[in-house]
Amino acid sequence: MDGRQSALEGLAMNPSLWKGKRVFVTGHTGFKGGWLCLWLKKLGAEVTGYALPPASNPSLFSVTCVQDGMHSLIGDVADRQRLASAMAEAKPDVVIHMAAQALVRYSYRHPVETYATNVMGTVHLLEAVRHCDSVCSVLVVTSDKCYENRERKIGYREDEAMGGFDPYSNSKGCAELVVAAYRQSFFAAQGRVALATARAGNVIGGGDWSDDRLIPDMVRAFHAGETVCIRNPDAVRPWQHVFEALHGYLLLLENMMENPTAFSQAWNFGPEDADTRDVAWIVKRFVAHWSADQGGADWRIERDAGNLHEAHTLRLDCSKARHELNWRPALDFGLALQWIADWYRCYYSNKDVLALSQQQLDVFQEMVTADGEHRMVKTA
């Protein structure tokens, strides 16, 4: 694997902080949660996962054996009692809530399920935290789509209005409001639990086989020797490699562990402005990477006949994470696309995809770790 960058100024994670840390992750059978658990295990954390069974076959969870070396529980966040007992039994120091119905188009077909999982699931999670004395830090993962989208060209900042046109986006805005209410009503005065939210842009990476997502749609089509149909070639999204968002989450939690009150807020994590690209740009680059090795990758535009509304332009202003956490993207975006094509190629040619996943994580971790030197920017 070449093209690595040197450890970048100001991106220092402190891997030793995670050793032996007890971490409760919801959504570990999904795309981001699976990568997060692989990373946390590498860091020496004791991980418990709570989620529904993987929604796709194949899945990152199954092909990289995410459940090995952790405690994996299958359960619904709608089941308040079971979630609370799972957390009580795990006695975590840190909770990372990622379980969600995470698809916009599915949310149009299943709005009730989407709100039940994303809003009441968050309420149940926070109730479990209230009654679990071991927990010190909680990160609730919402989305860049939580903002009231005004289709403007500049990025949304953390203090802007919540909104969301479709049930998924709106449920993430609601989850943000739930967290704010719990922070004010139950956690702030008591001071035991640091509670933050993370609003990341569209993440891409190896191991995603979800429906109606750009990279999985391309991979499925190209692998089957078909032309992929692109619905919204001009849609602009804050794309980033999944490791970038996870790095933001871990760095934020490290800061929360050191200084709970200062970091109990909402945080955006997205690409540099120049990497906030339209769909057609991503497709052309990914097609080039895929074709270079395997040929047979083609695409055509087929506008959405169902006419479901999806935001056209979505940008994030990530200056707060940049200035207060010293976080910024570490991976060249062209290299990120190469890594993704490499990952799926490895999987489809029956090579050792767990080894490649570990290798990609190792290279990335090296980029964001300055020899264990932790840069704490904000102090009490």
Ligand X SMILES: NC(=O)c1ccc[n+]([C@@H]2O[C@H](COP(=O)([O-])OP(=O)(O)OC[C@H]3O[C@@H](n4cnc5c(N)ncnc54)[C@H](O)[C@@H]3O)[C@@H](O)[C@H]2O)c1
First to last CA, the chain: 41
d(CA 270, CA 46): 28
Question: Among 101, 169, 264, 338, which residue sits at the site for ligand X (rule: CB under 6 A)?
Answer: 101
Query: And the tokens for 167?
Result: 């049930």
Please state whether beta strands 277-278 and 236-237 pair in parallel, antiparallel, or not at all (unpaired). Answer: antiparallel
Residue 15 or 34 with smaller CB distance to ligand X? 34
Nearer to ligand X, 137 or 143 (CB): 143
* Of residues 321-350, those binding ligand X (CB under 6 A): none
Q: Which is nearer to ligand X, 67 or 143 (CB)?
A: 143
Site residues for ligand X, 351-370, by CB under 6 A, read none
Q: Is 77 in the site for ligand X (CB under 6 A)?
A: yes
- Tell me the residue length of the chain: 380
Q: Indicate the DSSP class of residue 162.
A: B
- Of the candidate spans 62-70, 140-148, 305-313, 361-369, the one that interacts with ligand X by CB under 6 A turns out to be 140-148
> Could you give phi then psi for residue 117, rounded to 5 degrees?
-75, -50
Q: Is 99 in the site for ligand X (CB under 6 A)?
A: yes
- What binding mask, one character per residue, do residues 270-309 give for ligand X by CB under 6 A, x or -? ----------------------------------------
Q: Which of 14, 29, 48, 107 binds ligand X (CB under 6 A)?
A: 29
> C-beta of 199: minimal distance to ligand X in Å?
7
Please name the amino acid found at residue 49: G
Q: CA-CA distance, 25 to 133, in Å (whole number)?
A: 17
User: What would the x/- binding string for ligand X be over residues 200 to 219, using CB under 6 A?
Assistant: x-xx------x---------
Closest approach of Cβ 26 to ligand X, in Å? 6
Question: Cβ(36)–Cβ(246) under 8 Å?
Answer: yes
**Cβ of residue 219: shortest distance to ligand X, in angstroms?**
14
**Helical H runs in the chain?**
31-42, 60-63, 80-90, 104-109, 111-115, 121-130, 167-182, 214-223, 242-258, 260-263, 279-294, 319-324, 333-348, 353-367
**Residue 31 binds to ligand X (criterion: CB under 6 A):** yes
User: Per CB under 6 A, does 197 bind ligand X?
Assistant: no
| Single residue of 11, 37, 51, 337 touching ligand X by CB under 6 A | 51
Q: Please say which residue, 14 or 67, places its beta carbon nearer to ligand X.
A: 67
Q: Cα(110)–Cα(107) distance, rounded to whole angstroms?
A: 5
Query: Residue 92: in which H helix or E strand, if any?
Result: none
Query: Using the rule CB under 6 A, is 173 a contact of ligand X?
Result: no
Closest Cα to residue 179, out of 264, 81, 82, 84?
264
Among residues 253, 19, 219, which one has the least CA distance to residue 141? 253
Query: CA–CA separation, 233 vs 250, rounded Å?
Result: 33
Determine if 143 is a binding residue for ligand X (CB under 6 A).
yes
Instruction: Determine how many CB atoms are found less than 10 A away from the CB of residue 142.
Output: 25
288 Cβ neighbours under 8 A, 6+ residues apart: none
Q: Which listed residue (23, 24, 25, 33) binds ligand X by CB under 6 A?
A: 33
316 binds ligand X (CB under 6 A): no
Binding mask of the shown chain, residues 110 to 139, with x at each position contacting ligand X by CB under 6 A: -------x---x------------------
141 or 228: CB nearest ligand X: 141
Task: Name the helix (H) or strand (E) containing 228.
Answer: strand 228-230
Interacting residues with ligand X between 225 and 244 (CB under 6 A)? none
Give yes or no for residue 67 binding ligand X (CB under 6 A): no
Three-state DSSP class for residue 375: coil
Question: Among 47-55, 124-132, 304-312, 314-322, which window interacts with ligand X (CB under 6 A)?
Answer: 47-55
Per CB under 6 A, residues contacting ligand X are 27-33, 51-52, 55, 76-78, 98-102, 117, 121, 141, 143-144, 200, 202-203, 210
